[in-house]
Amino acid sequence: MLVTLSGSNLTDASGVITRRIQNKVTIANAVAITDTANHEYNLITQGGLTEDQIRRYSDFKISIKSTCDQAANVVVYTAMAAHNVTTATTSGQLYSETSNLPANPGGFLIMQSGVNATGAGTTSKSVPALKSVHSNLIIRVTFPVAPTTGSVTITVEMNG
Amino acid sequence: MPQETQTAVNWALHQQYQVDPGVTANVFDIYKDMASALVDTVRDYFNTNNITYSTFSYIDLEPYL
């Protein structure tokens, strides 16, 4: 798929306009987490996409909403294509930060490839590695203190 | 899911949900397709009635809708 930097369509050599592809999947739909265990969600197992489908996209934005009464740690992994594309591995870790998903209110976290400008929200994170080809993305959510209320929703927007 | 889940879901569908705490205008009736609102309110029912439960999500509530 060929596009200009502004997002407009390019034509191929024969003059046929190529089209951008975009998609959005929810990989965690209002999960009421009750413990301190690692909870992992990925585009294949929960998103229902195949490796081939995921590799058609080259830019990803991950949005997380939490209405829980505790903060959580969120880690983003890319799949190890030479290993197991649904397993989170240390070498595949793209982004990690403690308590990056705040407790409610304000329980929002966005991870995207662009560079944030002055005044950007503190829970909008720039992860340049999200602008790449991935065979899968795995998001791990861990609450150091188990929440007693609320839920977590994770959505991934993809641009190709 | 706890045996009280159907009761919890039925109760939750008659409640209102405040999207932004402290913002009065953002209070809505709960409908079946409001995943986060429904799950949060069912969880509140479990907590209020001292019902033991483990991690669950909207998909677990769908059979009760």
CB < 8 Å from B in window 59-118 of A: 65, 67, 104-105
Q: Which residue of B18, B36, B65 is the best one to mutate when testing the A interface, meaning the one whose CB has the most A CBs within 10 A?
A: B36
Check whether A15 has a pLDDT greater than 80. no
User: At a CB cut-off of 8 Å and minimum separation 6, what does A97 contact?
Assistant: A73, A74, A125
From the list A30, A148, A151, which residue is nearest B47 (CB)? A148
Chain B residue closest to A66 (CA)?
A: B36
Check whether A124 has a pLDDT greater than 60. yes
Alpha carbons A125 and A114: distance in angstroms, whole number:
9
Supply the pTM of this predicted model.
0.89
Instruction: Say what the pLDDT of residue A83 is.
Output: 86
B47/A149 CB distance under 8 A: yes
B40/A65 CB distance under 8 A: no
* ipTM of predicted assembly, 2 dp: 0.94
Give chain A's mean pLDDT.
90
CB A44 within 8 A of CB A54: yes
Please report how many Cα atoms fall inside a 13 Å half-sphere around the Cα of residue A16, on the Cβ side: 4
Check whether A126 has a pLDDT greater than 60. yes
A33/B20 CB distance under 8 A: no
A81-98 average pLDDT score? 91
| Residues B2-40: tens digit of each pLDDT | 999 999 999 999 999 988 766 666 888 999 999 999 999
* A132 compared with A19, residue with greater pLDDT: A132
B57/A105 CB distance under 8 A: no
Alpha carbons A31 and B60: distance in angstroms, whole number:
10
User: At a CB cut-off of 8 Å and minimum separation 6, what does A5 contact?
Assistant: none
Angle (deg, nearest 10), helices B5-12 and B35-48: 120
Strands (E) across B1-65 are located at 16-18, 27-29
* A152 compared with A8, residue with greater pLDDT: A152
Give the pLDDT band of residue A7 (cuts 50, 70, 90).
low
A151/B36 CB distance under 8 A: yes
Chain B residue closest to A35 (CA)?
A: B55
Alpha carbons B15 and A158: distance in angstroms, whole number:
35
**Chain A residues closer than 8 Å to B38 by CB:** 30
Give the pLDDT band of residue A116 (cuts 50, 70, 90).
confident
SS3 A142: strand
User: At a CB cut-off of 8 Å and minimum separation 6, what does A61 contact?
Assistant: A110, A111, A112, A113, A130, A156, A157, A158, A159
Residue type, B51: I
Check whether A16 has a pLDDT greater than 70. no
